[in-house]
Every structure is written in structure tokens, then in C-alpha cells.
Structure 1
């Protein structure tokens, strides 16, 4: 018999054995001694019994489940913190009586409620034509919504208006109404991994809608 035929028969036998064991879950109840006698290769201990291997797998599954639950709890706690911060920032925006007060309250609110020291609300109406041109790459990043991640040094300098050494990762939130960009809300972190591209932007986008309404109101001169 050729080696290829032998290999095929062995594979077939293995499949049959696996199918039989799956179809007869009480097999090891009838032959409990096999749980101890059968030895399985183990990378660290040479070989272990089938029962020991099952216990090890169960411990690993339990450990992985614990890690998954811990991760979910951490995400839930973070989301709760962000939700509370967005609520407070919304109240600050509603309490502002001028565009300058809105900018000041927003910056202070970010520091207090989010613990972020670097933030700025960039108003498109206050930018010169040359500044708009310099920000074309930033506008392109915001075409699909908020942007989280890293920027070039020139982009950071244009948005923050100062030396950007401490701004390693940034969140850029477009403030728009009726399809028109009114401004860009920038929050920066010295931690390069703080703002990541896959971050959820739902809560912050809802707050940006409120900010857009406030900015539009001030721009139309309804409140001074």
C-alpha cells in the first residue's frame, strides 16, 4: 500500500472516530478508565491524561471569560463617563449667552469633565482664506464625520494655534448645520493611543449637533 493511500485511510479512520465520539457522548461514561489512561501531548508537561486536558481547557475558557467580562465592564464604565461628560457639556453650551462664552465654557468643561487639558473650538467664520486653504486636508478627513487619530505637525499647529508637541492623538469633531461646516471642535491628548480611529462617535456627534444649533443662533444675532 502506498504512503498516500495509508495517509488517506488514517485520515478517514480519524474522521470516523471523531464522528463516533461526537454521536456517542456517553462513551467515556462506559469506559471512564480511558480518561486517565489516554495520554495527550503537552508542550510543557510532555503528556497529560484526557481528563487533565479537559480541566486545563475548562480553566482557560474560564480565564478568557473573566477577561472578556472585565473588558466589557471597563468599556461600560468608560461609556458612562463619556455620557455624563457630554450631558454636562451640553448644559454648559445651553447656558452660554455669547459665542465667546460658549468657547470658554466648552474649553473649561472639557478640562473638568473629560480631564483633557488641550481643546479648542475653531470657528470657520473667524478663519482667513489662507487658513481655510491650509486646512483643506483636515476638511477632507472630516467628510465622513468625526476623525480620531494622528495629524501632521502643520495640521496640529493650524488647529491648536500653538506648538503641538503635547498633542500626540486628537479628536476632530465637525460642527455642521444644514450641510454647512460651522467649526471644528478639537480635543488633543499627549497619549498617542488615547484617540483611535475605531472609537464610537455617537455621543459626541449628538453633542456636536447641539453646538451647531448654538453657534448658528449666535451667528444670526439672536443672543448677544
Structure 2
């Protein structure tokens, strides 16, 4: 018999054994003495018994579950912090009696409730025509909703009004009312990885809706 034929028969036998064990899951229950005699290759220990291997796999699975639960708890804690911050910022926005006070309250609120030192509410009505043209690429991004990530140095300087040495990643939150962009709420972090493109914007998006109402009301009051 050739080597190729022998290999084919061995592969066939292995398939039959695997199929038999799969359709007879109680096999080792009927033959417990085999469990102690079976040995499996192990990268560190050379070989281990099937029971040792099962225990090792169970420990790995348990550890993975613990890590997953820890990660979920971390996300839940972060979401709770953001929800509380949005609630407090919303109350402060409602208490503002002028646009300048609204800008100041938001900046202070972001620092206190989110621990972020760099933020600014940019009012589109206060931007010069040259500034609006320079920010055209930013406006295009915000047409799709909030933007999280990085910007060019010129874009950061236009939005933050100073040399943004510590603004490595940013959140740009459009304040929109009836399809009109009233402003851009900018929050920046010195950590380049803090704001990521896949971040959830549901909570801050709801706050931006409230800010749009307040911003429109205050703008109307100052025009009278």
C-alpha cells in the first residue's frame, strides 16, 4: 500500500472517530478509564491528560468572561458619568440668560463634569466670512452628524481660537435647529486616542438638541 493510500485511510479513520464521538457524547461516561490515559500535546508541558486540558480551557474561558464583564462594567460606568454630565450641562444651559453666559457655563461645566479643560462653543453667526470659508471642510463633516477624531492645525486654531498645542483629539458637536447650523460645540483632549470615530453620540446628541433650542431663543432675544 502506498504512503498516499495509507494517509487517506488514516484521515478517513480520524473522520469516523470524530463523527462517532460527536454522535455519542456519553462515550467517555461509559468508559471513564480512557480519560486518564488520553494525552494531548501541550506547548509548555509537553503533554497533558484530557481532563487537565479541559480544566485549562475552562480556566481560560472563565478568565475571558471576567475580562468581558469588567469591560462592560467600565462602559456602563462611563455612560453613567456622561449621562450625569449631560443632565447638569443641560440645566446650566437652561439657566443662561445670554449667549456669552451660555458659552461660559458650558466651558466651566465641561471642565467640572467631564474633566476636560479645552472646550468652546463656536457660534456660526459670529464667524467672519473668511473663517466660514476656511472651515468648509469641517462643515461638510458635520453634515453627517457629530465628528470624533483629529483635525488639521489650521482647523483647530480656527475653532479653538488659539494655538491648540494640547488638542490632539476632538469632538465636534453640531448645534442645529431646523436644518440650520447655529454653532459647533468643540471639546478637545490632549490624548490622541480619547475621541475615536466610532464613539456613541446618542447622549450628547440629545443635549445638543436642547442647546439648539436655548441658543435659538437667546439669539432671538439679543436681536430684539
Mapping of residues 162-201 of structure 1, within 5 Å: 162-201=162-201
Q: What is the CA distance between 1:223 and its match in structure 2?
A: 9.2
Q: Would you say the 8 A contact 1:97–1:223 is kept in 2?
A: no
Q: What is the CA distance between 1:35 and its match in structure 2?
A: 1.4
The alignment yields a C-alpha RMSD, in angstroms, of 1.5
Structure 1 residues 2, 208: closer, same or farther in 2, change over 3 A? farther
- The equivalent residue for 1:39 is 39
Mapping of residues 75-94 of structure 1, within 5 Å: 75-94=75-94
Cα distance between partner residues in 2 of 1:163 and 1:41: 60
- The equivalent residue for 1:74 is 74
Cα distance between partner residues in 2 of 1:2 and 1:150: 64
TM-score normalized with structure 1 length: 0.96
Q: What is the CA distance between 1:143 and its match in structure 2?
A: 1.7
TM-score normalized with structure 2 length: 0.96
Q: What is the CA distance between 1:222 and its match in structure 2?
A: 7.2
Alignment pair present for 1:218 and 2:215? no
1:79-122 alpha-carbon deviations (Å, 9 max, x no partner): 00000000000000001011111111000000000010000000
Q: What is the CA distance between 1:33 and its match in structure 2?
A: 1.8
Q: What is the CA distance between 1:2 and its match in structure 2?
A: 4.7
1:113-167 alpha-carbon deviations (Å, 9 max, x no partner): 0010000000000000100011011112212111111111111111101011100
Cα distance between partner residues in 1 of 2:10 and 2:158: 68
Count the aligned residue pairs. 224
